[in-house]
Amino acid sequence: MTKALFIREDYMMFILLGSIAALIISAIQIFAFCENRSFGKCLHFTIRNIFVINLVSLALLKYVFKYQHFLVTNAYKTASFVKFFFLSVLVGIVFLFISAIVNNFIAFENETPKKSGGARFMKILSAIFVALGSACYFGTIWGKGAFGDVTADQLLINLTSPTEGMDPNVYLEGFEGPVFQTMLVTALFCIFAFSNFKIVYNKNRRASTIFNDLAHRIISLLLAVAFLAGGIVYGVEKFQLVQLYNAYILESNIIDDNYVDPRTTKMTFPEKKRNLIHIYLESLENSFLSKDLGGYIDENLMPELTELSYEGITFSDNENKFGGPLQATGTQWSVASMVNMTTGLPMKVPAEPNAYGSKDNFLPGAWTMGDILKEQGYEQTVMFGADANFGGLTYYYESHGNYKIMDHRFAKKNGLVPEDYKVWWGYEDDKLYEFAKDELTRLYETGKPFNFTMETADTHRPGGYLSDKAPQPHKDHYANAISYSTAETVKFVRWIQEQPFYENTTIILIGDHLSMDTDFFINYNFDDSYLRTQYNLIINPDPSVANISGSRLVNRQYANFDMFPTILASIGVDIKGERLGIGTNLFSGKKTIFEEYGVDATNRELEKKSDIYNNTILVDPNNPLPDTTTENQ
């Protein structure tokens, strides 16, 4: 096959490649199994093979691999043609094998296996290898599909954090997915590995054994080793498990050299303290916008939110208005995002004996947004439709700012929903917004400045939750969930703008992380080269930053942790040095660490362990670990 075969303007390329594969299979069949090699017989085999192999391969292409077209192929890349060629060869080999059995060229016969302990051990070991390899492979596929672009740090942190309140469907999918798939593959392999048979090749009335018990055991072990190695390599690559090595073994000074302690940094609040409403929009990203706005969808899934965006300030990574923070190590899941934006730090793997999600031990050395605003006399509430115990958020918000936590458990305990009420992750966003209106009214009536934080959930994977009230203009369920959810967010913001407290209130709207709904991106044929970013919008910021230079808003390379000082600046706080944690105030002219060191270089360094993080942030300053003192403590 020459390069000319892969010209993308060609038509019927799949049929051509299937025919080439069929010619190769026909040559093997004629040489190995054909006693009568007359021209007519050979032509008959060749035509039959071309028809059958193309038909089966194209059927697999269309109905299993979901290719849209197989006649008009100019939209496909070279890799698609290469994959189809090897698929056709595989189909041909299977067909050839079946044909040989039917025509008695190959026969299966019973064989008494060797009964030594070594032979049995080899078979058992092979089965164990296949089970482990399958678990790695299917577990990785499930993990990436269930949680999106998770990495080793997120995986480990989630495993060591509380899982109360998790959607039970996640566990159900785990058992129906990788657990069942591993059992199935292992069972099928055991049928092969523990069967007693040999394969005999018959030609010209002579029989010879081509596959005996020894070959059976050797091939079983080789297949098992391949399963295990493939599963491990696949898991290591997809979950970037090399980060665990970096996190525990390699050291970096990037946090140590750039960390600014909020405890000791001078911050000046305005005489009249400004209220803050911070809304984390679950999985909301700019790709949901139409292509003319910088999104990836032909139709804009968020028209109301788009209109609202022109009333406020957004920080974009490109020249257009719609862009957002770039992915950083330790930022790309909900709990991490909240930690990033309220501490100015990534969420890194725990150093022993510390762990996230235990009482008084969730970043005990950090000084957070909640701590700062509590000292300034703010009344603080955080609201979730889910259980705040998930991921340890109850401990985080209680120990850092003494927030009033209004979650699913609170709603049941206080009669906001029935005791047995459970929709989606707890209760749906329709109720969340109504409860939020009541709580905001209460906060205003206290007469104190307030900080109200909430997180939506209806756009969570898989597929999102679609309210009974939601219209369904799109074919895709998740697209409808996005459209309805963002429209309801705008309605909530419009309600806030009508309230007496709005004039002195700043609203932050930001996607907590990129969407993890992999099926949605497959359905919309997302190109991996498209740079996905979180949606962000600041409405009604303090006048001191409301009219900043446009050059500070676009072409910015920043991460979630830069939002910590930026949000404080948006409510009129003057920060000496313009940096808190490792985050930079985007309203200022100061470079972020992404802009200073480069995105990739910074992320590689953030993967590694940090003395300050392990010995100061992860440790209670009032009860430090022995022999871990540093000059920063």
Alpha-carbon distances of 204 from 36, 44, 109, 209, 212, rounded to whole Å: 11, 21, 19, 14, 21
pTM listed for this prediction: 0.74
Could you tell me the end-to-end alpha-carbon distance of the chain, in angstroms, rounded to an integer? 66
State residue 40's pLDDT score. 85
Structure token pair of residue 449: 């400045």
Whether the Cβ atoms of residue 533 and residue 325 lie closer than 8 Å to each other? yes
pLDDT score of 494 more than 90:
yes
CB 355, CB 338: distance < 8 Å = no
The predicted-structure confidence for 349-367, as pLDDT tens digits, reads as follows: 665 544 555 666 788 889 9
Residue with tokens 């404080």: 568
Q: Of the given ranges (212-226, 257-271, 453-467), which has the lowest mean pLDDT?
A: 212-226
Rounded to the nearest integer, the mean pLDDT of the chain is: 86
pLDDT of 342 above 60 = yes
Output the six-digit token pair for 516: 């993890």
CA angle 329, 134, 168 (to 5 degrees): 65
* Cα(14)–Cα(423) distance, integer angstroms: 47
Confidence check: pLDDT of 209 > 90: no
What is residue 155's predicted lDDT score, i.e. its pLDDT? Answer: 60
Q: Is pLDDT at 122 greater than 60 in this prediction?
A: yes
Q: What is the largest CA-CA distance in the chain?
A: 102
pLDDT tens sequence across 157-170: 655 555 555 555 65
Indicate whether 185 pLDDT > 80.
yes
Name 107's Cβ contacts closer than 8 Å, sequence gap at least 6: 101, 199, 200, 202, 207
Q: Which of the pair, 179 or 416, is modelled with greater confidence? A: 416
pLDDT of 513 strictly over 80 = yes
Tell me: the pLDDT tens digits for 277-315? 999 999 999 999 999 999 999 999 999 999 999 999 999
Residue 8, pLDDT above cutoff 50: no
**142 pLDDT tier (thresholds 50, 70, 90):** confident
**For residue 486, is pLDDT > 50?**
yes
The CA distance from 606 to 247, in Å, is: 9
pLDDT, residue 99, reads 83
* Cβ count within 10 A of residue 142: 18
Tracing tokens 């991460």 back to the chain, one arrives at: 559
Binned at pLDDT 50, 70 and 90, residue 244 comes out as low
Residue 225 has which token pair? 């080793």
The confidence score (pLDDT) of residue 628 equals 36
Residue range 406-421: average pLDDT? 94
Name the more confident of 139 and 302.
Answer: 302
pLDDT band at 629 (very low <50, low <70, confident <90, very high): very low
Q: How confident is the model at residue 145 (pLDDT cuts 50, 70, 90)?
A: low
> Are 515 and 479 a contacting pair, CB within 8 Å?
no
Q: List C-alpha distances in Å: 277 to 267, 459, 624.
A: 20, 20, 34
106 DSSP 8-state letter: E
Strand runs labelled E in 245-338: 267-268, 275-281
Residue 353's pLDDT is 47
> 96-105, 337-346, 447-456: which has the minimum mean pLDDT?
96-105
With a CB cutoff of 8 Å and minimum separation 6, the contacts of 55 are none
- Do 537 and 306 touch, CB atoms closer than 8 A? no
pLDDT top residue among 265 and 528: 265
- Give the distance, in angstroms, between the CA of residue 225 and the centroid of all CA atoms in the same chain: 29
Alpha helices per DSSP H over 250-392: 254-258, 303-309, 334-343, 369-375
What 3-state DSSP class applies to 37? coil
